[in-house]
Structure 1
Amino acid sequence: MENLREKFESWIREMFHQRLKEEVCYHNLDHTLLIVEKSREIAGYEGLEGEELDDLFFAAWLHDTGYWEGKAEGHEQRGAELAQSCLSELGIAQQRIDRIKSAILATKVPQNPQNLFEKILCDADMYHLSTPEFLTYTMCLRQEMENLHTENCTKLEWLKKSREFTLSHRYHTEYGKKHLEPLKLKNLTILEKEIEELENQKFKPEKKKNKKSDRGIETMFRVTSTNHLELSALADNKANIMISVNSIIISIVVTVLIRKLEEFPNYTIPAILLISTCLGAMIFAILATRPKVTKGLITKENIEKKQGNLLYFGNFHQMSIEDYSAGIRELMEDSDYLYGTMTRDIYFLGKVLAKKYKLLRKSYTVFMFGFVVSVLSFLIATLFFDPFTY
């Protein structure tokens, strides 16, 4: 039997490493090892021995394997099914497998063990309630439940739920009643103090924190909006420079060089290249600064649903003053709506900036490479082509 247990333990450890999802941070291998150890401890006190002690070893290892797939609901049933399949392969008698499966199913909360074997496994499963690391364990369980999307609550709400569970829980074995229950009650006192501290901090400290937080949020929006506006002004300035420079070049080429092409026909291709470059750069620069005005109407339904940006003129220029004033009042009275609107305003301003700078980059790229090619073509036409040969 010892070799069989070693073979089983080696296999199930490997399965924990292969199949357990990362989100399961509480019902993992460490938790299972604790249950295996504590079930043996309780069994020694209760006088369990022989074949039942071996079966308890298998049950302790298998009781939470239903969590391997990252699902909490029905994990006891999945653990019992795995016990049936793997223990049958090991040649364990069906009568013993049924006892192990029954004990695994008995760990389902609220626990309802029917015999000493099941009571030992149930008490081992809840052994953590009596340990000095009780708060650490319960917060780890909260994290796991959030990871698996089965629970989403504040720390205070979770601790209150833990208090309710601990108060309703009872150990079943004599060992649990004598040794674990008193330690659990001490942990319950610590839990009560933790809850009381959180409740005392809930209002007064949070008010100060919220004021400070509100100032921080306002500063963040102000700085971000200012930066975006400065970047927008910078983009417009760069576009104006590009438009002005290329306009001057085109004017000079058209008024001076075009008239000289009859005398210097070898400059025809360079002139075409230069004009094309300037026109291309100007087009991209103009597109970067071209304004876009939206439909300019936000309905009352949009305001009620907290949709639409009343801070941007393009969204309200066709609204009546009464509707706009009512919308602004609604915006000022609802901080979530206000911050949401400011967030959208910054986001879409960023989208416009991204488009502007992409077009500007194209404009400057066309100008840079086109101007270089044009100058080189003028040099080649001057050095290698005689205008009088045309």
Structure 2
Amino acid sequence: MDYTALLKNVQQFVTTYFATHHDDRFSYHNSGHTLDVVKAATSIADHYQLSDEDRFIVLCAAWFHDIAHQNDDPAEHEAKGALMAMDYLKGLNVDEPVAEKVRGCIMATQMPQNPQNLLENIICDADLYHLGTTDFKEKSKELRKELQRVYNKDISKQDWRKGTICLMEQHRYHTDYCRLLLNDQKEKNLEELKAKLNEKDEEDTNQMSKDNKPEKVTLLPPAPGENKKDAKKRKKEKPVKGRETMFRVTSSNHQRLSDMADRKAHIMISVNAIVISLLLSLMLRRLDEHPRQTIPAIALLLVSLVTIIFSILATRPNLPGGTFTQEDIDRKQVNLLFFGNFYKMSLDQYNHGMVAMMNDSDFLYGSLIRDLYTQGTVLGRKYQLLRISYSVFMYGLIASVLMFIISAVI
């Protein structure tokens, strides 16, 4: 089944539906939000290297998950959107198990979210992706405007902040990818909301009813003996989490790419090992009966052998000496985050080096940078060797087949 073509049909249908059912009241749950969710779902799905079928399920659910939000009862929009998706996919002759998984993903986005598998985890995280981005403030404002228009009810800024804080404190990202990528910014957004909640907002106070005057909420109190000025200074001095996030995400991506390279090399080794086995067991023993195919057979054998060699070189580990000196520690020239630099050292020596690194931020960040660089250079070497392996196999296979054809014809 051509899932790429099916996804294009889904995109066209949903885009047309939003264009013909536009409602100005919905400033958040509109085509823009759907596009954002599709983009986030694509990013997460690509990270987990989903199959074509699973990728279609996730992205189809992302397109349909809010399509019915502009109906009479927004609270039931997930169920109505799931029915619309099932009907549309049935018209495209999509297999029922696939359509059922799309329905399950759409229903998983219903609050409170309760996903049951990886695909549902991905669509749920994509739906609330904005909670951990810098666009959170703008998205929150648009959602507040929408609710006020739809339900014809004024929602004060303070009440809105309280509700949003409650949502964010209860919310948890379901995928490791989103937890790693978005949690830091989400915590920052939450802290800013709490800080604003503590400030006196005269505009909101004048709009509130005297009978429903909210109690004063005190969140994030200053430390004992600390005035507001010191608290603000302490807040400014908090370490920026963006750097740690960058290191974690980059290291995770490097590891994922390394795993992909190893799998590709394994495929090439397995395929060419089978080719060599067949050549040795069948073809070469009968060359005396078909002498004209001797050269093509040897050529194919050499192609497979060279391909395997480069694939093995791509996965063959390289280990340093496994030792470091006190001079290396003092000059901050050793990366203790890589086992190859310390596996021959004693625990006391390694502990001494790690403590020295942790107590020196320049040493620590320098080691992280060096570790990422080393991972990158290893990846570069792997993929260069893999490219050679695939090129030799592709062009060599073409040349060998042509030689077999020529030998058979002439």
TM-score, normalised relative to structure 2: 0.48
Indicate conservation of the 8 Å contact 2:71/2:77, yes or no.
no
SS in 2 for 1:113: coil
- Residue 193 of structure 1 corresponds to 195
Distance 1:148 1:202 in 2: 21
Q: Which amino acid aligns with 1:170?
A: R
Task: Give runs of ≥4 in structure 1 deviating > 3 Å.
Answer: 198-203
Aligned residue identity for 1:42: I
The range that moved more, 143-152 or 56-65, is 143-152
Output the CA distance in 2 between the equivalents of 1:202 and 1:138. Answer: 17
Whether the 8 Å contact between 1:24 and 1:70 is mirrored in structure 2 is no
Question: 1:7-156 maps to which residues of 2 (within 5 A)?
Answer: 7-69=9-71, 71-149=73-151, 152-156=154-158
> Which runs of 5 or more residues in structure 2 are unaligned?
208-410
Task: Tell me how far apart the structure 2 counterparts of residues 198 and 39 of structure 1 sit (CA, whole Å).
Answer: 39
Q: Which residue matches 2:345?
A: none
Question: Shift of the alpha carbon at 1:135?
Answer: 1.4
Paired residue for 1:6, among 5, 8, 11?
Answer: 8
TM-aligned CA deviation for residue 172 of structure 1: 0.3
Cross-structure match for 2:171:
169
Q: 1:180 aligns with which of 175, 179, 182?
A: 182
Give how far 1:154 is off: 0.7
Letter in 1 for 2:18: F
Tell me which amino acid in the other structure corresponds to 2:137.
L
SS in structure 1 of the partner of residue 174 of structure 2: coil
- Which structure features the higher share of helix residues? 1
Quote the Cα distance in structure 1 between the aligned partners of 2:102 and 2:162: 33
Q: 1:198 to 1:108 in 2, by over 3 A?
A: farther
Secondary structure at the aligned position of 1:66 is classed as coil
SS at match of 2:27: coil
Q: CA deviation at 1:22?
A: 2.0
- Residue pair 1:46, 1:174 contacting (<8 A) in 2 also: no
- Measure how far apart 1:23 and its partner are: 1.2
CA contact 1:59–1:103 (8 Å) conserved in 2: yes
Identity across matched positions, percent:
32
Superposition map of 1:314-325 within 5 A: none
CA contact (8 A) 2:68 2:78 kept: yes
Alignment of 1:262-277 (within 5 A): none
1:238-293 per-residue CA deviation (whole Å, 9 max, x = no partner) reads xxxxxxxxxxxxxxxxxxxxxxxxxxxxxxxxxxxxxxxxxxxxxxxxxxxxxxxx
How far is the alpha carbon of 1:151 from its aligned partner?
A: 5.1
SS class of match (1:160): helix
Distance (Å, rounded) in 1 between the aligned partners of 2:22 and 2:200: 34
Cα distance in 2, alignment partners of residues 202 and 55 from structure 1 = 44
Q: CA deviation at 1:150?
A: 7.0
Which amino acid is the alignment partner of residue 168 of structure 2? Answer: T
Separation (CA, whole Å) in 2 of partners of 1:99 and 1:107: 13
For 1:136, give the aligned amino acid.
E
State the secondary structure of the residue aligned to 2:74.
Answer: coil
Query: Hey, what's the Cα distance between the residues in 2 that align with 1:77 and 1:198?
Result: 41
State the Cα RMSD in Å.
1.9
Task: Describe the superposition over 1:79-120 as per-residue Cα deviations: whole angstroms up to 9, x where unpaired.
Answer: 111011111111111101110001110101110000000000
**3-state SS, counterpart of residue 158 of structure 2:** helix
Distance in structure 1 (CA, Å) of the matches to 2:72 and 2:164: 22
CA contact (8 A) 2:10 2:63 kept: no
Q: Distance in 2 between matches of 1:91 and 1:13?
A: 21
C-alpha separation in 1, matches of 2:71 and 2:23: 6
The answer on whether the counterparts of 1:64 and 1:79 sit within 8 Å (CA) in structure 2 is yes
Shift of 1:54: 1.1
Structure 1 163/24 Cα, relative in aligned 2: closer, same or farther at 3 Å? same
SS at match of 1:145: helix
Deviation of the 1:201 alpha carbon:
7.0
Structure 1's 200 and 189: CA in aligned 2 closer, same or farther, altered over 3 A? farther
- In structure 1, runs of 5+ residues without a counterpart are 208-390
Q: For 2:107 and 2:149, how far apart are their aligned partners in 1?
A: 24
Confirm or deny: 8 A CA contact 1:102 1:118 kept in the other structure.
Answer: yes
Change (3 A) 1:151 1:180: farther
> How far did residue 70 of structure 1 move?
5.1
- 1:183-211 Cα offsets, whole Å, 9 max, x none, are 110111111122223457766xx69xxxx
8 A contact 1:20–1:69 mirrored in 2: no
TM-score (norm 1): 0.50
